[in-house]
């Protein structure tokens, strides 16, 4: 199947193929495109620019061939499933009313036809590894689709959670109540709240920044995101055996200086996992995307390392949401040389360099 698809509105493509559905996930990072011609229908999961990250055959509308049709395979036309891999070898009529249900993370989608589950393209779909996605009308495994029936037990809970999440998220007061829960946890763990800024810019996910000024024997300000943990990060289950312990995070910084400078880190990273379809975790690093002299924590540094449970900083553990524990990742400034060292040897190689002063250097 082709590696780039149009992601514009539904309509005729000009080669006899009709785009019957285009839907963008809530974070703007993935687009579902469903196409059909008189022969077959297919769904594509696309990134920016139309790059295909997953694709699944949906239906043949004519009798199935005995084997793979190389002409359609090498063209931009929707593929046909071979006779042995379809429940309707004689073909079936056009698709009915289509409705997508995005996973909470935004990296996968379930597609319904007339309120019946038709297909699932999960975040781990990868045509280059022979995993196209799951289709209701598919039998066995082919390069175009795997049987949805055989995979349903493993997908059902994921789909149910996605439906429940978006129903909750669309309800009145959902964001306000979540924000109150996080703020209450930080009140108990850190201290009195100061200023609050919006870091979401009107885009999903909603993210705020809360400031906790110095008090008692703490001489530095604590800043934390509020809202990242309201939705699970994409792709975690592809790397971690227990995603429930790592899929939800908030970010934190300890700053002795102007908190507004350190807060710029959250404008940079607070929505990054969902817009870039990736995840952040303990030991991860991020290189500053702009000129070195603009780095918020000083031009000597080139990015940040993310670490949990640091000595001398408040213990922010103990908060959970959606049945998952939430990790707070402390952002520690590191130099360009240290970024290179982590890339070559892993984050532990830099840990001996992180003095107590560095942990509260932000600002």
pTM: 0.92
* Token pair for 70: 């190389």
DSSP assigned state of 136: T
Q: How far is CA 308 from the centre of its chain?
A: 21
Q: How far is CA 126 from the centre of its chain?
A: 16
- Encode pLDDT of 264-307 as tens digits: 999 999 999 999 999 999 999 999 988 888 888 888 899 999 99
Q: Is the dihedral of CA 124, 126, 131, 133 positive or negative?
A: positive
Predicted confidence at residue 363, as pLDDT, reads 43
In the sheet that holds 11-12, the strands lie side by side as: 11-12, 18-24, 31-36, 40-46, 52-60
Distances (CA, A) of 259 to 34, 152, 194, 267, 296: 47, 48, 11, 13, 10
Q: How far is CA 357 from the centre of its chain?
A: 34
* Token pair for 277: 């379809």
- Tell me phi and psi for residue 131, to 5 degrees: -120, 90
Q: How far is CA 31 from the centre of its chain?
A: 13
Cα Rg of the chain (Å, integer): 24
Q: Are strands 324-334 and 248-255 parallel, antiparallel or unpaired?
A: parallel
Element housing 167 (H / E)? helix 148-169
- Encode pLDDT of 50-79 as tens digits: 889 899 999 999 999 998 888 887 877 899
Each as own residue / partner, the long-range contacts of residues 38-41 (CB below 8 Å, 24 or more positions apart, any chain) are 38/62, 39/72, 39/77, 39/78, 39/80, 40/72, 40/77, 40/78, 40/79, 40/80, 40/81, 41/78, 41/94, 41/95
Q: Which residue, among 281, 286, 284, has the nearest Cα to 243 in the 3D structure? A: 281
Distances (CA, A) of 114 to 118, 166, 270, 293: 9, 19, 37, 55
73 burial via Cβ count (<10 Å: 0-12, 13-18, 19+):
middle
> How far apart are alpha carbons 184 and 84 in whole angstroms?
57
Q: Which residue, among 99, 97, 115, 111, has the nearest Cα to 57 in the 3D structure? A: 111
Predicted confidence at residue 217, as pLDDT, reads 84
Whether residue 205 is preceded by a cis peptide bond, meaning omega within 30 degrees of 0, is yes
- Tell me phi and psi for residue 225, to 5 degrees: -70, 155
* Token pair for 207: 């993210």
> How far apart are alpha carbons 146 and 143 in whole angstroms?
8
Helix (H/G/I), strand (E/B), else coil: 286: strand
* Token pair for 170: 């669309």
* Token pair for 17: 């193929």
Predicted confidence at residue 102, as pLDDT, reads 98
Q: Which residue, among 230, 268, 238, has the nearest Cα to 108 in the 3D structure? A: 238
> How far apart are alpha carbons 275 and 98 in whole angstroms?
25
- pLDDT tens string, the chain, 363 residues long: the values are 555 565 555 555 556 889 999 999 999 999 999 999 999 999 999 998 888 989 999 999 999 999 888 888 787 789 999 999 999 999 999 999 999 999 999 999 999 999 999 999 999 998 778 889 999 999 999 999 999 999 999 999 999 999 999 999 999 999 999 999 999 999 999 999 999 999 999 999 999 999 999 988 888 899 999 999 999 999 999 998 888 889 999 999 998 878 888 999 999 999 999 999 999 999 999 999 888 888 888 888 999 999 998 888 999 999 999 999 999 999 999 999 999 999 999 999 998 888 766 666 554
> Is residue 277 within 8 Å of 234, Cβ to Cβ?
yes
Predicted confidence at residue 95, as pLDDT, reads 96
> Is residue 163 within 8 Å of 85, Cβ to Cβ?
no
> Is residue 268 within 8 Å of 275, Cβ to Cβ?
no
* Token pair for 176: 């306000």
């Amino acid at each position: 199947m082709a590696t780039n698809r149009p992601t514009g509105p539904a309509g005729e493509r000009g080669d006899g193929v009709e785009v019957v559905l285009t839907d963008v996930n809530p974070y703007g990072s993935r687009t579902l495109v469903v196409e059909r011609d008189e022969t077959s229908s297919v769904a594509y999961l696309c990134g920016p620019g139309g790059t295909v990250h997953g694709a699944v055959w949906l239906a043949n509308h004519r009798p199935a061939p005995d084997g793979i049709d190389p002409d359609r395979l090498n063209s931009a036309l929707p593929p046909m499933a071979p006779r042995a891999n379809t429940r309707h070898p004689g073909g079936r009529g056009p698709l009915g009313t289509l409705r997508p249900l995005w996973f909470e993370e935004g990296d996968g989608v379930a597609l319904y036809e007339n309120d019946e589950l038709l297909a699932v393209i999960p975040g781990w779909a990868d045509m280059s590894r022979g995993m196209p996605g799951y289709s209701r009308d598919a039998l066995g495994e082919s390069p175009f689709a795997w049987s949805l029936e055989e995979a349903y037990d493993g997908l059902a809970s994921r789909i149910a959670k996605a439906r429940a999440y978006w129903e909750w998220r669309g309800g009145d007061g959902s964001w306000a109540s979540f924000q109150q829960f996080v703020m209450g946890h930080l009140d108990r763990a850190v201290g009195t709240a100061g200023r609050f800024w919006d870091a979401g810019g009107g885009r999903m996910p909603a993210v705020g920044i809360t400031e906790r000024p110095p008090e008692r024997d703490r001489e530095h300000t604590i800043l934390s995101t509020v809202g990242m943990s309201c939705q699970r990060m994409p792709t975690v289950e592809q790397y971690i055996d227990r995603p429930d312990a790592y899929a939800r995070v908030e970010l934190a910084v300890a700053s002795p200086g102007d908190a507004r400078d350190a807060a710029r880190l959250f404008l940079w990273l607070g929505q990054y996992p969902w817009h870039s379809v990736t995840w952040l975790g303990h030991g991860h690093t991020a290189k500053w995307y702009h000129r070195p002299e603009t780095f918020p924590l000083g031009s000597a540094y080139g990015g940040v390392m993310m670490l949990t449970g640091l000595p001398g900083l408040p213990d922010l553990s103990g908060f959970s949401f959606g049945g998952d524990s939430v990790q707070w990742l402390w952002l520690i400034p590191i130099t360009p040389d240290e970024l290179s060292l982590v890339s070559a040897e892993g984050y532990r190689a830099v840990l001996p360099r992180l003095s107590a002063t560095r942990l509260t250097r932000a600002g």
